[in-house]
A and B are shown apart, each in its own frame.
Chain A
Amino acid sequence: MRHSLQFLLLGLLALLLGACAGTQVRGTGDLGLVIERASGHVTLVNTSAREAYARIGGLGDLSHASVVYSRDARYAYVFGRDGGLTKLDLLEARIVKRVMQSGNAIGGSISQDGRIVVAQNYTPGGIKAFDADTLELLSEVPAEYAPGQFSKVVGLADVPGGKFAYALFDGGEIWVSDFSDPKKPVTQRFPAGQQPYDGLVTPNGRHYLAGLFGEDGIVLLDLWQPEQGARKILEKYGRGEEKLPVFKMPHLRGWSVAAGRAWLPAIGRHEVLVADATTWKETGRVPVKGQPVFVMASPDGRQIWVNFAFPDNGWVQVIDTLSGRVVQTLQPGKAVLHMEFTPRGEAVWISARDDNRVLIYDTRTFRQLGSLPAEAPSGIFFTSRAARIGF
């Protein structure tokens, strides 16, 4: 009799706990995920606890995966290399929906109002818009820059006004598509230059910049005055000198603007280029260890963290934006692929692919605060991206 009462109570307790776990009330502001590129997994992480709290598999080829967040910062949209688009729920740690949207994709973006997600594709070259709730295909813009010729699309970024800006690697153009009517996008085209390899929109959403691979320079489009067309800045930064080989393409994103200047990777030079973010004139360069890949400003803009292409991918350097000099050189691990700052930048998480680890560093003392195991980690994405233009 007593026993059965105990069992009953235990059972009730378990039910209660189960219910609590199922509907646990919590925010997502300190959550994020780490891509495990080789095995199609993501590890969900908590940046307050500095811990992983779940792992989800079955996401396909994640070798160049990128992630955007819904504006409530609960759902992550993972764009896989194989064209898979997966919507994850960070709170319930599960896949909500998954579609195969193309043969070969390179990333994606989410609209200003959070209603549509757009994928950028290499093959077939172009962009595709999906309903953010259901992942139903709404419309597409093939990157047909000349009759029958399709370009790989790079540098897709959401910009204000329900638009998306992107660049055509083979077509040498910047396109801006207006998705105000998600089923009928309207596209404007701007000649850009040879082989734009990636693009970014400044944090205020005003300027779209595309880095050029085929020539020395960056193209700038003022989205407030698009009628002025795209123009080149930092032209001939290579000064006619022979380029060093580039063993991995750099990545651009809106984290490049800090302390009133834009900090950009040079191509074929072991330098970070610095331009005034109002006049867009070069104000300096910072010599670094290798070909920069990510040149990322901390949230307060005081520091720029830089990682490098093969064979210098074991190094990370930190530039102080006040002095414009490298103030720290770190060796976090083998094959450093990505870095991500916590929302207010007290720490930075760094993925070391060949060490199968994510390292956490204090940005003030440069001390290692901890580390997490992950299988061939690449991109790290925190939910603080949900509220940023161009992420």
Chain B
Amino acid sequence: MSTRRRPFAVALTLLLAGSAAVAMAEPTPARQKELIHLVRQDCGSCHGMTLQGGLGPALLPATLAEKPAEGLVATIIGGRPGTAMPPWHRFLAEDEAQWIVAKLMTGFPQ
């Protein structure tokens, strides 16, 4: 009985831990506003204010759909050496970059 319940319990704790981590990662509403402004205005100088691309590629749900989120987060944090994409780690924490990617992939707020 207990052995049969264990995997479920493990899964449950993982799930809870996972959702706890996600909940913790969610920036405060004030910070979210700043991040939206940063993405639209300052990322927008290369990716376009509407994120439809400029010197950098489009960052729209359709263009990002096939790409793994971790890779995109790594690009934002570390930049892409040899290209015009700069590293943003001085201004963005990893979980903030994760939040940005999640929003980019589902349609970025105005």
Residues on A facing B (Cβ under 8 Å): 37-38, 61, 63-64, 81-82, 104, 106, 122-123, 152, 169, 195, 197, 213-214, 245-249, 310-311, 335, 353-354
Contact = CB atoms under 8 A, between A and B. Distances in A.
Contact of B55 (A37, A152, A335, A353): A152
Given A61-B50, A311-B90, 11 more contacts: A64-B45, A64-B54, A82-B50, A104-B53, A104-B54, A123-B53, A152-B55, A169-B55, A248-B42, A248-B46, A354-B41
Interface in B77-109: 79, 82, 84, 86-87, 90-91
A247 B86 contact: yes
Given A106-B54, A335-B41, A63 B91 contact: no
A249 B50 contact: no
Please tell me the size bucket of the interface on B. Answer: 20 to 34
A48 B91 CA distance: 41
B84 A246 contact: yes
Interface in B36-52: 37, 41-42, 44-46, 48-50, 52
Closest 7 A-B residue pairs measured CB to CB?
A63-B49, A245-B86, A310-B42, A248-B45, A247-B86, A61-B50, A245-B87
Contacts of B55: 122, 152, 169, 197, 249
Interface SS of B by simple majority: loop
Contact of A81 (B41, B48, B79, B86): B48
Nearest to B37: A354
Contact of B84 (A123, A249, A353): A249
Contacts, number: 57
Nearest to A122: B54
Interface of B: 37, 41-42, 44-46, 48-50, 52-55, 79, 82, 84, 86-87, 90-91
B79 A245 contact: yes
B80 to A, nearest CB: 11
Contacts of A82: 50, 52
A246 B86 CA distance: 6
A81 B54 contact: yes
Contacts of A81: 48-50, 54
A195 B84 contact: yes
Contact of B50 (A63, A247, A310): A63
Contact of B49 (A61, A152, A245, A249): A61
Given A63-B44, A246-B86, A311-B91, A37 B54 contact: no
Contacts of A152: 55
Contacts of A214: 82
Interface centre among A122, A152, A310 (most CB of B within 10 A): A310
Contacts of B49: 37-38, 61, 63, 81
Contacts of A38: 49
A245 B91 CA distance: 12
Nearest to B50: A61
